[in-house]
Each structure stands twice: as structure tokens, then as C-alpha cells.
Structure 1
Amino acid sequence: MKTIGVIGGMSAESTAIYYRELNRLVRERLGGLHSAELLIRSVDFAPIAELQAADRWDETGAILADAARKLEAAGADVILLATNTMHLNAEAIRGAIGVPFLHIGDATAAALKAWGVRRPLLLATRFTMEKAFYKDRLAAAGLDPLVPDQADRDRLQAIIYDELCQGVVRPQSTAAGLEMVARGRSAGVDGVIFGCTEVGLLLSPDQIDVPVVDTTLVHCEAAVNFALA
């Protein structure tokens, strides 16, 4: 089994899901008392969030590249970045290491195509919904992602940072998320991306009448496939 290195902490809530899911998947595949070979470098999210807000992405990239180098030096055979938004710095991370880096957008695109989805609704942080780095990667895979309107993007950003990243899940926020999905369905979407690693805390696929790809879960599946190959 190869060792999976996880850059986490963005947020700690979703990194805990990565730890649980990676171990669950290995146990399901190998049985018995098996668990994943893991290394986790969990960063302090507060200064990174401040840099995000200030649009200082070169600095966040330097922090994450350093984390990736440390994981590789500690023995990681593959690197995961346990956040969608910070894949804006994917190239900085790739350039800092010699081991493979598994991009969350690639795992997401593959899962959507397996479901036959062509026009997914992307629910994520404002950065992921508005900047090109993520949508362009999906488009390159033949997908046509749609994002909510400005008011919904602002509302979802507040839910993610002020609630979900702090372990708070409010029923009214779940209702707001489902309303965003309903508006997307009216606009013709045929699938939904939980495109922030915390959105799976807010919404459940069984609440939605089209295929849902939870990026956290498919990213973990890709990592375990690599580790056990």
C-alpha cells in the first residue's frame, strides 16, 4: 500500500472527513483491520483565509508548496489537497514535489461523466465559483458548469466560512442550499457538484433529484485507487 499525504486544515472540519473516508475505503477494499497509510500536514486556516480575502494567492501557494514538500520528505507517495478552493495553487504544489498530485477537479469530472452529467451546478466558495481555475478544468473535460447568481454566491460563501468551517450546520442554511439547487434545476442543470469540501455537511445527495458528486468522496476514492494499485 502506498502512503497518502494530505494537506489539510482548510477547514479542519472537512479534513476530518478525508481521514474517515480514506480509512473506510481501505477497510472496505482490504477487509479486517486494514486502514490507510496516511500522513497529514494540517495548516492553520485563519491566515490562509485572510490571504484569500486579500487575493494574495502567490503567498498561499508558497505555504501549500512547503506543506507538500514536507509530506514528500516524510514519505508520502502521492499528495492530496483537502480543499477545492486551494486547487487554485495546484501548479505551485506540483512544481514543488516529485510525487504525483491528484487534482480534485479531475476526480470530479470523471465522476460526473460516469453519471452522464453534462451541465452540473457548482456549489462552492465564491473563489471556486467565480475564478476560472476550476470551471476551466471541468470545461476541458467536456462539461458545462453553471454557478448560482450573485446573491446566492454571496449567501453560500457566508454559510461556508461563518458556519460550516466552524462546525455549525443550520437548518435554514440547508434550506437555502436546496433553494439554490431548485433554481439551478429550473435553469437546466442535470447534476450537482458539492464543490467545497464542506458542502456535504450542509446537503445530502438524497435531498436532490439529479446525480450529485461530492468532491471530497470522489477525491478520496481516487487516492485509495492509487494507493492500492
Structure 2
Amino acid sequence: MKTIGILGGMSWESTLLYYKWLNEGVRERLGGLNSARIVMHSVNFHPVEEAMAAGDWETVASHLVDGAHSVRKGGADFLVIATNTMHKFAERLEAETGVPVLHIVDATAEYAKAMGMHTVGLLGTAFTMEQDFYKGRLEQKHGLKVLTPDTSDRSLVHKVIFKELCCGQVCTNSREEYIRIINGMEQQGAQAVILGCTEICILVDSGCSPLPLLDTTHLHVQAALNRALSEG
């Protein structure tokens, strides 16, 4: 079994899911008292979020690079960045640590294509929905058409993530707003919606969505399990 490196804490609400689902997955696949081999570095998210809000991405990167080096020193065979937005630095972390990064976009896109999907909606932080590191990878590397909400709805989605979900708060009104936005993307031709923030699965699930949901947290975990338990 390979050792999974997790760079988490952004926020710890979803890092908790990674740890739980990875261990449950290993137990399900191997049986008995088997559990995942994990090395984890959990950052203090408050200064990271402040730097993000200020547009100080170099400070953000410094926190992540330090964390990734910690994971490398712990013996990780590959790195899982337990947040969508921080995949902005995936290539840099891989280059500076030498540890391969299991990219969350690739895991999600490969599943979408396997399901025959070609047009997807995307919900996430404003950075994820608007910057090219994420949407561009979906479009250019994987050939998917990506739909995002309009400016005001992107702002709403972003605010709910940072003000509620990252704090462990689940509000009915916010769920209703997300479903309204998903309905709008269905009308634009989306076949499914990517939950492009690892906390969104706390708020919405397939039971309340009019479209299939591509939960990046779950898909990333499954890809990590496949990598960790592969013989190659």
C-alpha cells in the first residue's frame, strides 16, 4: 500500500471527510482492520484565507509549499491537495517537492467523460469558477464545456462557502439558493454540476439536486484509493 500525503485544513471541515472516506475505502477494499497509510499536514486556514482575500497569492503559496515539504518528509508517495482552489499551485508543489500531485480536476473530468458527459456546470469559490487553472484545465485538457453562474450568483456561492460551510454551518436558505443556481445551469444545457469546492457536498446532495452532482471530494478520494492500492 502506498502512503497518501494529504495537504489539508482548507478548511478542516472537508479534510475530515478525506480522512474518514480514505480509511473507510481501504477497509472496504481490503477488509479486516486495514486502514489507509496517511501523512497529513493541516495548515492554519485563517492567515491563508486572509492572503487569498487580499490577492497575495505568493503568501498563500508559501504556506502550501511548507506543508507539502512536511508531507514529503513524512514519506508520502503522492500528494492529495484536499481543496479545489489550492490546485492553483499543483504544478508548483510537485516541482518544488518532487512528490506527484493527484489532481482533483483530472479525477473529476475522467469520471464525467466516462459517464458520457460533455457539458458541466461548475460551482466553487470565485477563484475556482473564474480563474483559468481550474476551468481551463477542464476545457483544454479534457475537452469539457464548462458553465458557471452569473456574477451575482458566483458571489453568493463564494460567500456561502467561506462564511458558512468552512465554519461548519449548513443553512436551508443557502441550500435553496444553490438549487436555484443548479436549475439555471440545467436550463443552459448542463448535464451535471461539478461541486468544485470540497465543502459543498456538506450542503447539497443528489437527493435535492435536479442534476447529477460530481462531488470532487468523493471522486478525489476514490482516485487516491486507486493510486494507493495499485501495484504499479
Question: Shorter-chain TM-score category?
Answer: over 0.9
Q: Which aligned pairs between 1:1-229 and structure 2 lie closer than 5 A?
A: 1-139=1-139, 140-229=141-230
The alpha-carbon deviation at position 209 of structure 1 amounts to 3.5
Taking structure 2 as the reference length, the TM-score comes to 0.96
The alpha-carbon deviation at position 123 of structure 1 amounts to 0.7
DSSP-derived class of the 2:87 partner: helix
Q: Deviations over 1:177-226 (max 9, x none)?
A: 10000011111111110100001001002322433210011111111111
How many residue pairs get matched? 229
Q: Which runs of 4+ in 1 moved over 3 A?
A: none
RMSD: 0.9
Taking structure 1 as the reference length, the TM-score comes to 0.97
Q: Deviations over 1:114-135 (max 9, x none)?
A: 1111111101001100111100
Q: Deviations over 1:71-100 (max 9, x none)?
A: 111111111100000111112211112221
CA distance in structure 2 between the partners assigned to 1:213 and 1:187 by the alignment: 17
CA distance in structure 1 between the partners assigned to 2:183 and 2:212 by the alignment: 14
CA distance in structure 2 between the partners assigned to 1:58 and 1:72 by the alignment: 21
The alpha-carbon deviation at position 34 of structure 1 amounts to 1.0
Amino acid paired to 1:49: E
Unmatched runs of 5 consecutive residues or more in structure 1: none
Amino acid paired to 1:125: T
Q: Is the 2:78–2:102 Cα contact (8 Å) retained in structure 1?
A: yes
Amino acid paired to 1:82: A
Amino acid paired to 1:37: R
Unmatched runs of 5 consecutive residues or more in structure 2: none
